[in-house]
């Protein structure tokens, strides 16, 4: 189901899938020029749906903002803007009383936005998963994250591995780093995204 969600001064597009027997909902926070049509996040979302989890894949930027960002690449690193929108999308998702248990799945800079939203909504967000994310960009919000957090990074992405380890040192919540051997930043190698899907599904199934 495609929906349009008013967020502050803009309206964001989202795709929502709700299985008949749902155990909770996972909101996806895209980053670095990606959006709800990302085949990588859609593949992970399909795995979550098969496990009985509803999914909300929302664009964090409007079409006009995406066109601007494609030229300047500035909005994808505007963590404050992205975090505000993930927080608002979290609130929107929870207005549906059938979806009261929520997890956040963040990719790239969207992972930082997801962690900030989790810190802002400690009683609503139950778990966070980051894929190839930049949790370090959540900065001073990291110690305030209370939710169990899974950080998934490709084994061939050493810079991001180091940044994730730095972020872990600032976190006080349960946090685990999973390194997928042979995977680059985008997990384009055969079988690597399937590993991400299995790890994320298991994490959300345990904590939602």
- Here the CATH number for the domain that contains residue 42 is 3.40.50.1820
CA angle 160, 125, 186 (to 5 degrees): 25
Task: Kindly provide the b/e burial profile for residues 59-80, where b requires at least 16 CB atoms within 10 angstroms of the residue's own CB.
Answer: bbbbeebbeebeeeeebbbbbe
What's the whole-number average pLDDT of the chain? 92
**pLDDT given at position 29:** 93
**pLDDT given at position 38:** 80
Tens-digit pLDDT profile for residues 22-76:
789 999 998 766 677 788 889 999 999 999 999 999 999 888 888 887 787 777 7
Tens-digit pLDDT profile for residues 114-135:
999 999 999 999 999 999 999 9
Other Cβ atoms within 10 Å of 162 Cβ, number: 12
Least confidently predicted of 61-70, 178-187, 191-200:
61-70
**pLDDT given at position 136:** 97
Q: For residues 157-181, give the mean pLDDT.
A: 97
Task: Kindly indicate the confidence band of residue 97, based on its pLDDT and cuts at 50, 70 and 90.
Answer: low
Q: Classify 186 as helix, strand or coil.
A: coil
Task: Kindly indicate the confidence band of residue 155, based on its pLDDT and cuts at 50, 70 and 90.
Answer: very high
* Owning domain of residue 114: 2-207
- Identify whether the C-beta of residue 114 lies closer than 8 Å to the C-beta of residue 87: no
CA distance 177 to 165: 8
Q: For residues 165-179, give the mean pLDDT.
A: 97
**What is this structure's pTM?**
0.94
How many separate domains does the chain show?
1
Tens-digit pLDDT profile for residues 72-89:
777 778 999 999 999 999
**pLDDT given at position 32:** 60
Residue 184 has pLDDT above 80, yes or no: yes
How many whole angstroms from its chain centre is CA 202? 15
Higher pLDDT, 160 or 36: 160
CA distances from 37 to 68, 80, 98 (A): 18, 23, 25
């Amino acid at each position: 189901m495609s929906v349009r969600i008013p967020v502050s001064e803009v309206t964001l597009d989202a795709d929502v899938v709700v299985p008949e027997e749902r155990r909770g909902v996972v909101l996806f926070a895209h980053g670095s020029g990606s959006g709800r049509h990302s085949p990588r996040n859609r593949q992970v979302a399909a795995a979550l749906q098969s496990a009985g989890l509803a999914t909300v894949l929302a664009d964090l930027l409007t079409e006009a903002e995406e066109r601007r960002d494609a030229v300047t690449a500035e909005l994808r690193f505007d963590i404050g803007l992205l975090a505000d929108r993930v927080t608002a999308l979290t609130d929107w998702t929870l207005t549906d009383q059938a979806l009261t248990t929520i997890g956040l799945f963040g990719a790239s800079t969207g992972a930082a936005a997801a962690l900030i939203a989790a810190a802002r909504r400690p009683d609503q967000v139950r778990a966070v998963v980051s894929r190839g994310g930049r949790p370090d960009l959540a900065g001073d919000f990291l110690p305030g994250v209370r939710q169990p957090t899974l950080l998934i990074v490709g084994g061939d992405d050493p810079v991001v591995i180091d940044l994730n380890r730095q972020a872990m040192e600032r976190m006080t919540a349960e946090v685990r780093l999973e390194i997928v051997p042979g995977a680059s930043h985008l997990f384009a190698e055969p079988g690597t995204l399937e590993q991400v899907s299995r790890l994320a599904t298991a994490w959300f199934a345990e904590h939602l």
